[in-house]
Amino acid sequence: MLKINNLHVVIGDEEILKGLDLEIGPGELHAIMGPNGSGKSTLGYALAGRDGYEVTDGSMEFEGEDLAEMEPEERAAAGLFLAFQYPVEIPGVNNAYFLRSALNAQRKARGEEEVDSMNFLKTVRASLKSLKMDEALLKRAVNEGFSGGEKKRNEIVQMAVLQPKLAVLDETDSGLDIDALKLVAEGINAQRDGKRSFLVITHYQRLLDYLTPDRVHVLSDGRIVESGGEELAERLEAEGYAFLEETSEA
Amino acid sequence: MNQTAQQVEKVIQQRYKAGFYTDIESDRMRAGLDEEVIAMISAKKDEPEWLLEWRLKAFHHWQTMVGPNWAHLNLPPIDFQKIHYYSAPKQKDRPKSLDEVDPKLLETFDKLGVPLHERARLAGVAVDAVFDSVSVGTTFQKELKEAGVIFCSFSEAVQDHPDLVREYLGSVVPYTDNYFAALNSAVFSDGSFVYIPRDTRCPMELSTYFRINARDTGQFERTLIVAEPGSHVSYLEGCTAPMRDENQLHAAVVELVALKKAQIKYSTVQNWYPGDENGKGGIYNFVTKRGDCREDDSRISWTQVETGSAITWKYPSCVLRGDRSAGEFYSVALTHNHQQADTGTKMIHLGKNTTSKVISKGISAGKSNNSYRGLVRMARRADNARNYTQCDSLLIGKTCGAHTFPYIESSNASAKIEHEATTSRIGEDQLFYCRARGLDEEDAVAMIVDGFCKEVFKELPMEFAVEAKALLEISLEGAVG
Amino acid sequence: MSALLEQLAPEAALAEDRYADIRRRAHQRLMQHGFPDLKTEAWKYTSLRLLEKRELGSGQGESAGAPEALPFAADVIHFDGGVLRNPPAELPTGVRLEPLDPAELVNVDYGDRAGAMAWLNLARFEQAWRLVIESTLERPLVLALTMPAGFATAVHPRLRIDVATGAEAVLIEQQHDEGAGLVNIVEDIELQRGARLRHVIHRRNAESIWVQRTRVSVSADADYRCHALELAGRLVRQDLAVHLLEQGANGEIDGVAFIDSGQHVDWHTAIDHEVGHTTSREAFRIMADGSGVGVFNGRIHIQRGADDSHSDLNTANLLLSDKARINIKPELEIYAEEVTASHGATIGQLEDSALFYLRTRGLPTEDAMALLKFGFAAAPLETAEPEVVRNWLIEELQAVL
């Protein structure tokens, strides 16, 4: 599904990712953990194709395609989804209209029929309901006036509607209370069908408690320094990121 | 119940503390303005020919101009032929040190709290004092000289550093700029000159005190500050005048030049006599202040606290020419009784990635009118330029006016401008809350006004901040009524 | 500008009708003051030199044919080529249309040169109508003003609109000019006690110079709301002054202007709180693309004694191209104490982060930009009523994006 090889990413004059390797197979859920400033969000943005995140070396292959050659919308149409750590407010653009435009643009790019509005609304309503979000949000502007938690849940609603092949969730758990966290986790689990893959970027273990990741990676100073199973996340939680230094010295 | 207002008014009626007059013999030129008077001023100062020529050019240009009429001011006609353009305290020769200065003069500045002597040493501030048309003495000459800093009266600079003066005079504010700048260029009598050499941080705060003393006299000083690449300077300016029934004209020009990575901070506490509670007398203050961020990464910051003058017409501005240069303007303008103020700033963004910030606080009381007038212009080349402007007005009483006239112009599609303005009164609930906690009305008003102005006060050097706060309290006495 | 005076206002050509004295007075005032130039504060950003360069023919304009059909039921009064050719056979119940009584014009004053175009109108108007809305209207009333492609002369429409006590109406000015002349409108709108007017201005022009001066007076407890969709033209100048005359009066303006290459739009609005216990709100947005120039001057004036007045003005503006320009001037002039008055103004561009966000959701750049522009520009129209009118305005906006 996703194959990242020796990825170097530079922002301005500063190299943030310094040779990152990562491979995610179909249906797998991987978690990337790491301290602040380790490059977690940079990875998400680089995958989605944000301006100013320059790939200077290495490669990112998504289903055999070179992501670096694709525009952000082409990556989306190919099935890559980024749930933003800070979802952007778009005043004046209504949520439902936005989501439908996005879905249809992706379908069009893939040569598929546009979705009819009845079916669209049905899907959206179901997603909203499962995340315990008010339907009135559909009529409001995208993320505008949403609470922090609502914004995060709204990302999961979008994921459910857009049905990506790979969802990259950038600190979707931060700022959520425990009930919202469970809802988000349920939203993610509901999408796990054995084919769809997930990359969960997080600072804490608590979301992983509900997700059972296949692999956990530790990102430090722009590289994956350790990989393992769920137990790695527990160890990080118990010992903190300080042990990384010992690891790198060792 | 409008007890609030009444009490505030009571608090405010206090006298102008700098309103005394010093009886000192002065050497004064006849009233009126013509080529002869200009030649006489120039001759008094023993000026080189080019400077006289420049003055005359300015005068001829001024004769073709008309006064500005766009400001929100009720401006009575000024008879320029009745004004004396030169007046100086009589002294045999230029004093070589402060010890030679007439003790009466020193006493005057002492009364004003201007530290010319020992206190100056304690305060660590170098002071140039300008009495009517001439500079009477500059402190700390020796220490400054060691650092390579030139800080002297404008007249001395013309004698001792003619090349520097000639290079920069009028390079920021040409004599053609506006009516009052042209007038000043023709008749300016003295002022301060500052030169900070390359990579030098001026070792102390520099300060000039302006005092208008003589009757029927106009004051036309000129300040020029040149900051060479990598240098820093902080400059303070204070102004006072005696209480008189007639209006007196003050038309100054201030030019700042900041070269590469240089920083200039210019602070003013303006306390010219504002006239009495019936609007009689007071200074007409028409000042052109402009800073030129001429080269990359330079920074100019204006801070002003304006409590005086019958009429204020003043827009300290920044021309942001160098890439990444920055301009700031922090202002508190308080008007009371019949005072009128039309003040603000111009931020002209020419270079790329230039930034500017404008914080303006206007307080109107009595029958006064207080206007903020500002211009933010993003020129076509000003890629990624940014401006943020906040102007707030506070109204005290029902007979004053508070106005905001921002001009916002953008020709660059990557520039961003944000402007916010609010107008409000001191809330009954705020006052009540303070009083319920045991503050009397006066203190409560002072505290609220101080809070309103905090953002600006924190930009002032410590001694000035204290003075500014006290000045505001005095100026506001009697405003609540 | 003297050539302009001769061209536009030859005294000999003043109509000798029942307004003749009024016309002569207006002509004299115009000659006395002349036309504004860039030193005239109210015309600082808009030059009338284009008018000088243009040789406008004389005589009345031609018929422009029927106005564009609207997607909702409405009554239409058609000013075809700038004039009412045939008074409508039947007006809706509650509407009266009559020639304006000259007595109404005897004391009007447009001040100095800043008001030159209004003086010009007063000297030269072809017709002056008074429209009275006597009772609540069932459906929107459309004042359609259309100019044909060949239009190259000057017209000076003049209209007075009265909304009677307690009456409610939706009034739509549908203005469409395909010509290259001068349209110089003066309209006065009066809302009597408790009246409610939903005033819509929808304007799309080609090469004409379009100057419109609208003055609205709002009496006690009356409610005036304007929604403007300005689709621009070669040169458009709109003055909209709302005077809140008595307690309980409310005035609101929501507008959006979309300006493209070769177009210049200048909106001057003023909300004047003449007494206390009055409220106002304004939101205006400009998008300037290509080499378009947008000007917005929004003034809030609270007069002495107008205590307990509340006013807020917000203007947000987008510069979409390196050649476009936007000049704005939000003004506050406050003489009363117990008031709240504020304004906020921004000039910027589409947010990169929003654009990126939309693209990660699969929208191509162009669609994403159109969506952001739409989101930006539609906001002021969202409050238009009734819904059919709102939807129409929003569709019209969408069509140009």
Residue with tokens 């009381």, as numbered in its chain = B365
C330 touches chain B (CB under 8 A): yes
Neighbours of B396 (CB within 10 A): 29
Q: Note whether B2 contacts C: Cβ–Cβ < 8 A.
A: no
How would you classify the pairing of strands B317-320 and B346-349?
parallel
The whole-angstrom separation of Cα B46 and Cα B40 is 10
DSSP string, B403-426: EEEEEEEE--TT-EEEEEEEEEE-
What's the pLDDT score for residue B347? Answer: 98
Does A219 reach chain C within 8 Å, measured CB to CB?
A: no
Inter-chain touch A72–C371, beta carbons under 8 Å: no
* Partner residue opposite C367 with nearest CB, options A90, A99, A101: A101
Written as one letter, the residue type at C147 is: M
- CA distance, residue C318 to nearest chain A CA (Å): 14
Give me the phi and psi of B56, to 5 degrees please: -70, -40
Q: Does A73 contact chain C (CB < 8 Å)?
A: yes
A62 touches chain C (CB under 8 A): no
Interface test with A, best of C256, C317, C357, C390 (most A CBs within 10 A): C357
Note whether B393 contacts C: Cβ–Cβ < 8 A. Answer: yes
- H-helix segments, B148-276: 154-160, 162-168, 179-187
Using CA atoms of B59, B63, B69, B71 in order, give the dihedral in degrees to the nearest 10.
Answer: 0
Q: E strands along C194-278, which residues?
A: 196-205, 209-218, 223-230, 235-244, 250-259, 264-273
Measured between CB atoms, does C374 come within 8 Å of chain A? Answer: yes
Question: Hey, are the CB atoms on A158 and C361 less than 8 Å from each other?
Answer: yes
The whole-number pLDDT of residue A16 equals 95
Strands B311-314 and B263-270: unpaired
pLDDT of residue C36: 94
Gap from A161 CA to chain C (nearest CA, Å): 11
- Chains B and A touching, counted as 3 or more CB pairs less than 8 Å apart: no
Along chain B (481 residues), what's the average pLDDT of each consecutive run of 10 residues?
42 52 70 89 91 95 88 83 79 56 63 54 59 62 86 90 96 94 92 94 84 70 95 86 72 96 93 81 90 98 89 94 98 90 96 97 91 96 96 89 95 96 79 69 77 86 75 72 49
Task: Name the token pair of C244.
Answer: 């809140």
What distances in angstroms separate CA A155 from CA A177, A192, C139, C376, one per listed residue? 16, 16, 43, 22
Question: What are chain B's partners, defined as 3 or more CB pairs within 8 angstroms?
Answer: C
Parse chain C into domains and list their residue ranges: 2-351
Please tell me if residue C357 touches chain A, with a CB cutoff of 8 Å: yes
Give Cα separations from B223 to B172, B290, B395 (angstroms). 11, 11, 34
Yes or no: domain A2-93+141-249 corresponds to CATH 3.40.50.300: yes
Q: Which residue of B398, B403, B410 is in closest CB contact with C336?
A: B398
pTM for the whole structure: 0.85
Q: Which residues on neighbouring strands pair with residue B371, listed in sequence order?
A: B342, B403
Whether residues C325 and B407 touch (CB distance < 8 A) is answered with no
pLDDT at B12: 40
- Quote the pLDDT of residue B4: 42
Asked if C37 reaches chain B (Cβ–Cβ under 8 Å), the answer is no
> Which of C227, C163, C171, C161 lies closest to C191 in space, CA to CA?
C163
Confidence of residue C330 (pLDDT cuts 50, 70, 90): very high
Enumerate residues 296 to 315 of chain C having a beta carbon within 8 A of any beta carbon in chain B.
304-305, 307
Burial B358-383 (b: 16+ CB within 10 A, else e): bbbbbbbbbbbbbbbbbbbbbbeebb
Establish if C351 touches chain B: CB-CB under 8 angstroms. Answer: no
Nearest CA distance, C97 vs chain B (angstrom): 41
What's phi and psi for C395, nearest 5 deg? Answer: -65, -40
CB proximity C142 to B under 8 Å: no
Interchain contact B44–C (C-beta under 8 A): no
Q: How many residues does chain B have?
A: 481
CB contact under 8 A, C341 and B423: yes
Chain C residues whose CB is inside 8 A of the B381 CB are none
Give residue A142's pLDDT.
85
Q: Do C356 and A50 touch (CB under 8 A)?
A: yes
Q: How far is C328 from chain A (nearest CA, A)?
A: 22
Whether residues B410 and C339 touch (CB distance < 8 A) is answered with no
**Contact call for residues A34 and A219 (beta carbons, < 8 A):** yes
Any chain B CB within 8 A of the CB of C344?
A: yes
Residues 134-153 of B with CB under 8 A from C: none
Computed over its alpha carbons, how large is the radius of gyration of chain B? 22
C394–chain A Cβ distance below 8 A for any pair:
no
Instruction: Show which subunits contact C, needing at least 3 CB pairs below 8 angstroms.
Output: A, B
| Per-residue model confidence as pLDDT tens digits over C224-277 | 999 999 999 999 999 999 999 999 999 999 999 999 999 999 999 999 999 999
Count of other CB atoms within 10 angstroms of residue B406: 25
Give the one of C352, C362, C375 whose C-beta lies nearest to A141's C-beta. C375
Using one digit for the tens of pLDDT, what is the confidence trace for A131-144?
A: 888 888 888 888 88
More confident residue, B142 or C71: C71
Beta-carbon contacts of A185 under 8 Å, excluding residues fewer than 6 positions away, are A207, A210, A211
Q: Assess C364–B contact: CB distance below 8 Å, yes or no.
A: no
Phi, psi angle pair for C72, to nearest 5°: -155, 160
The pLDDT assigned to B213 comes to: 64
Nearest-Cα residue of chain C relative to residue A95: C375
Per-residue pLDDT tens digits of chain A, which is 250 residues long: 999 999 999 998 899 999 999 999 999 999 999 888 889 999 999 999 888 899 999 999 999 999 999 988 899 999 999 999 988 888 777 888 888 888 988 898 899 998 888 889 888 998 888 888 888 888 888 888 888 888 999 999 999 999 999 999 999 988 888 888 998 999 999 999 999 999 999 988 888 889 989 999 999 999 999 999 888 888 888 887 776 665 544 3
Asked if the Cβ–Cβ distance from B404 to C348 is below 8 Å, we say: no
Nearest CA in chain A to C353: A88
pLDDT tens figures, C128-149: 999 999 999 999 999 999 999 9
Distance CA C86, CA C63 (A): 12
> Rounded CA gap, C146 and C80, in Å?
5
Q: How far apart are CA B334 and CA B393, in angstroms?
A: 10
Highest mean pLDDT pick, B64-68, B428-432, C39-43, C280-284: C280-284
Give the DSSP letter of residue C63: P
Residue B372, strand partner residues: B343, B404
Q: C27 vs A47, C14, C24, C101, C124, CA distance in Å?
A: 70, 9, 5, 19, 8
Say whether residue B400 is in contact with chain C using an 8 A CB cutoff.
yes
**CA angle, A236 then A239 then A240, to 5°:** 65
**Å from B370 to nearest chain C CA?**
10
